[in-house]
């Protein structure tokens, strides 16, 4: 960790110098408007981005620095959480290497420079993974509470954060080792806590005829029904640019190997 922090700090300093070099994107101005009009949620996004921008602008004022510096700080914390999670599963050298690779991707650089809902989503996503590794693999039951809070905050950041709760259940159901946790109250306590943290979004939607849920579900359904091969190619190209082709290849290889191993383990 002592060797890693200076390098992550160097990345942060370089990005810090880039903050004032380009104007705010329309989305950032839009989310800043969120923060100036506090609400339990908003039409096209949950409230977390408004809270984070509101916190940084309350300290630094309504400026480019105020809107963007928070994203840099939150992304730095994401990298620390990523390393902490990796360290629970890997040795020190591998953990540092994978963290530096992650920190050097275009995706993380973009997150650290532009304030969007994804900044909070990735931070709370890493927080969820760290807590679940502690709770499931290290049998530290208190971390089920932190996992529930982080899963709820991930949903409050962006609706795709709901995938964490679905993924937790799928992992436990398909695991040959950890399925027994379903016989304990801890996963359910974590999920109930997540739902409580998500309550502001539910309340806002109830008060507005479920407008946000309807908008998001209709948009995504139309996108799925209008699938075109070129869209898939564009998606792969975009992801390759954001995370880097080597990481993308390794990711798909890992998915293939993990799926094959699960299928073999289920055979009689």
Within 10 angstroms of residue 202's Cβ, the number of other Cβ atoms is: 16
Written as one string, the DSSP assignment of 143-202 is HHHHHHHHHHHHHHH-GGGGHHHHHHHHHHHH-TTTGGGGGSSHHHHHHHHHHHHTHHHH
Q: If you ran DSSP here, which 8-state letter would residue 234 be given?
A: H
CA 128-132-134 angle, to 5 degrees, is 120
Q: Give the per-residue pLDDT at 134.
A: 97
Instruction: Return d(Cα 196, Cα 152) in angstroms, integer.
Output: 7
Q: What is the dihedral of CA 2, 127, 163, 137, to 10 degrees?
A: 80
CA 150 to chain centre: 10
Instruction: Return d(Cα 70, Cα 262) in angstroms, integer.
Output: 41
Q: Mind listing the pLDDT tens digit of every residue in the chain (268 residues)?
A: 778 888 888 888 888 888 888 888 999 999 999 999 999 999 989 999 999 999 999 998 888 999 999 999 999 999 999 999 999 999 999 899 889 888 888 888 888 889 999 999 999 999 999 999 999 999 999 999 999 999 999 999 999 999 999 999 999 999 999 999 999 999 999 999 999 999 999 999 999 989 998 888 765 555 544 556 655 565 555 555 555 655 556 666 767 777 777 667 655 5
Give start and end residues of each alpha helix (H) in the chain: 4-18, 26-36, 48-60, 64-89, 92-103, 106-113, 117-132, 143-157, 163-174, 186-197, 199-207, 211-225, 229-243, 245-266
Q: What is the dihedral of CA 223, 107, 250, 151, to 10 degrees?
A: -70
Q: Which residues contact 44 (CB under 8 A, 6 or more apart)?
A: 212, 215, 216
- What's this model's pTM, rounded to 2 decimal places? 0.83
Contact call for residues 62 and 46 (beta carbons, < 8 A): no
């Amino acid at each position: 960790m002592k060797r890693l922090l200076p390098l992550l700090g160097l990345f942060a300093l370089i990005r810090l110098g880039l903050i004032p070099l380009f104007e705010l994107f329309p989305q950032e101005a839009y989310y800043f408007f969120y923060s100036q009009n506090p609400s339990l949620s908003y039409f096209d996004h949950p409230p977390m981005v408004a809270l984070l921008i509101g916190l940084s602008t309350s300290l630094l004022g309504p400026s480019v620095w105020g809107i963007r510096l928070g994203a840099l700080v939150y992304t730095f914390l994401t990298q620390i959480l990523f390393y902490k999670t990796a360290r629970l599963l890997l040795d020190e050298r591998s953990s540092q290497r994978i963290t530096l690779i992650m920190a050097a991707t275009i995706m993380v650089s973009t997150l650290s420079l532009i304030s969007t809902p994804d900044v909070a989503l990735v931070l709370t996503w890493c927080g969820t993974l760290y807590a679940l590794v502690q709770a499931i693999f290290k049998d530290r039951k208190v971390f089920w509470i932190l996992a529930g809070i982080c899963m709820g905050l991930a949903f409050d950041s962006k609706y795709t954060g709901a995938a964490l709760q679905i993924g937790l259940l799928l992992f436990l159901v398909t695991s040959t080792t950890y399925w027994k946790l379903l016989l304990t109250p801890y996963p359910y306590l974590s999920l109930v806590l997540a739902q409580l943290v998500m309550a502001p979004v539910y309340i806002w939607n109830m008060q507005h005829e479920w407008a946000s849920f309807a908008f998001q579900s209709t948009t995504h359904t139309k996108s799925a029904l209008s699938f075109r091969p070129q869209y898939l190619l564009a998606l792969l190209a975009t992801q390759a640019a954001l995370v880097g082709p080597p990481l993308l290849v390794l990711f798909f290889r890992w998915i293939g190997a993990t799926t094959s191993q699960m299928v073999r383990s289920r055979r009689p």
